[in-house]
Chains A and B, each alone.
Chain A
Amino acid sequence: MKKYADLVVVAVVLALVPVLAGGSPYYMRLATLALVYMAWTVAFNLIFGHTKQLFLCLGALAGSAAYMTVVFTKQLELSPWITVPIGVATAAGLGALFSYVSVLRGLGIIFLGIVTLAFSLIFHNLVLGLRQFTNGETGLVSRGLGFPLLEQPMSSYYIFLGVLLVALIVYYLLMASRMGMAVRALSDDELTAELSGINVTWYKVLAAAVASAILGLAGSLYAFYNGIVSPSVFSFVSVDIPVLIALLLGGMRTRLGPIIGAAAFAVIEELVRPFGQLNVLVYGVLLIVLFVAFREGLVPMLRKTLKLSLP
């Protein structure tokens, strides 16, 4: 059990956050959003960190799941217990498809980035175009459709904490299995991995599918929690960029990196709030600086400078 001590620490610390927030609805919402971004960053760590697949469609995948869930709940009056799995399966299927096509066609990291970015544009356009289902730019009201517990701040926080812990447990279990060895190998050199007997295609597609399912689960529940699902909630700027920053900041291929990175991003977001629309500029500069000068991330840096054995 000692191997999972960090998971217990994360769970306990995050479970105590509402006490610190002292029931302030504003801080509760910030903390809940931070949990959603943490789950998304854990997923992105699996896709980009461990299997080097540059998915620039995180918002579109989470959004596909969210729209599928809300539209099906609304139009067909299905229970969210059925529609959330539909949304999750949609995201997982799309993620697996992008991954499979990219491996099959031998797309490099840049071309996969372009293909998935194109999907982001298509998704955005589709949401605007299918006005009769999605209500276009204005978005769909999802309040009252989903789980009653997601309408209250306190219970919502713990539901998203549960989602994050599920994501982390799935991630830990996969990494402790033979997949951990396989992705360690293939993230360093895919051909060498293949020649060592590792089914590179399978592990890349599996990582993409599992991670996309996590993106979709958090996305679908977030759509209910948010009370409204609109293109701007799942846009490139509101999902992909924060998650990229969080992962680079925290440290790729680490367990705690996505958690620390997404928490740090939540703080940064609060700090740049006074800049208004210029916040994206700050994020852009931050992303460039991270890619150019700080690709390692906080967790590996702390390991080196403070000689900590952080997972």
Chain B
Amino acid sequence: MVIRVEGLHAGYGMTSVLRDVSIEAQAGEAIAVIGPNGAGKTTLMKAMVGMLRPTRGRVDFDGHSLNGLRAFQVARLGLVYVPAERELFPTMSVLENLELGAYRDVSASEEHMRYVLGLFPRLDERKHQLAGTLSGGEQQMLAIGRALMAGPKVLLLDEPSTGLAPKAVAELYRQLSKLKSAGLTIVVTEQQVPLALSLTDRAYVLEQGSIRLSGRSSDLLGDPSIKKAYLGVA
């Protein structure tokens, strides 16, 4: 297991959000955490990368315990997080954003740059444009590109489809499936359940802070309760 979350409890102040959440992913696997708004998907991501201290439970990544590590340390180990808000360096150019993304390992920067610009030709076209002036879809590509510049072992994506036009979402998921074919381990949270399930190998259903269901993504796609709750089919 390259990443394993075990019995995680987390919350904000007195409010507990996650209760006894366990998920795991093997190297090269893509997994999805699906669930409605407010289920705790973002909280789970934040607790995994050290932006939020879990109250109980543990997170292990690639032979290291992540408990007590801060966000920059987790990123340096190769667990790279892309929040739903598409965190960028807004007043810098696309190219500068990517260069700074390579902070973890500057020596491999050129190689990663070629890869990222090849994967997202749109970013190549807009190299010198300021990040803050890109469209939503392009910003999401840049946020993911910046994460890839770090040469991550595991990529954590929090609701990458948020606020994007359907066409942009489809394009983004095509690129994500290329990343998956290239062997990158991906953990993605989504409300757009069919998309997430068709990208990933396995999925967890998070509801009200607990894992309600888990299994192979293709099986979940056919599960009647999932269909009813998330796909809008009776």
Contact = CB atoms under 8 A, between A and B. Distances in A.
B72 A189 contact: no
A184 interface: yes
Given A181-B100, A181-B103, A185-B100, A194 B72 contact: yes
A195 B150 CA distance: 10
Interface in A197-226: 197-201
Nearest to B78: A197
B183 interface: no
Contacts of B146: 192, 196
Contacts of B73: 199
Contacts of B135: none
| Chain A binding surface, main DSSP class | helix
A188 B81 CA distance: 18
B77 to A, nearest CB: 9
A182 interface: yes
Contacts of B103: 178, 181-182, 185, 196-198
A192 B75 contact: no
Given A182-B103, A184-B100, A195 B88 contact: no
A191 interface: yes
B80 interface: yes
Interface string B61-73: 0000000001111
Interface residues of B, number: 26
A188 B76 contact: no
B89 interface: yes
A51 B104 CA distance: 20
Interface string B135-158: 000000000001100100000000
Residue picked from B72, B83, B146, most chain A C-beta under 10 Å: B72
Interface in A164-200: 178, 181-182, 184-185, 188-189, 191-200
Contact of A199 (B72, B91, B96): B72
B92 interface: yes
Given A188-B92, A195-B82, 10 more contacts: A178-B103, A181-B100, A181-B103, A193-B100, A195-B71, A196-B75, A196-B150, A197-B103, A199-B72, A201-B70
A-B pairs, 5 with minimum CB distance = A197-B75, A188-B89, A192-B87, A197-B104, A197-B76
Interface of B: 49, 70-73, 75-76, 80-83, 87-92, 96, 100-101, 103-104, 106, 146-147, 150
5 contacts: A185-B103, A189-B87, A192-B88, A194-B75, A195-B75
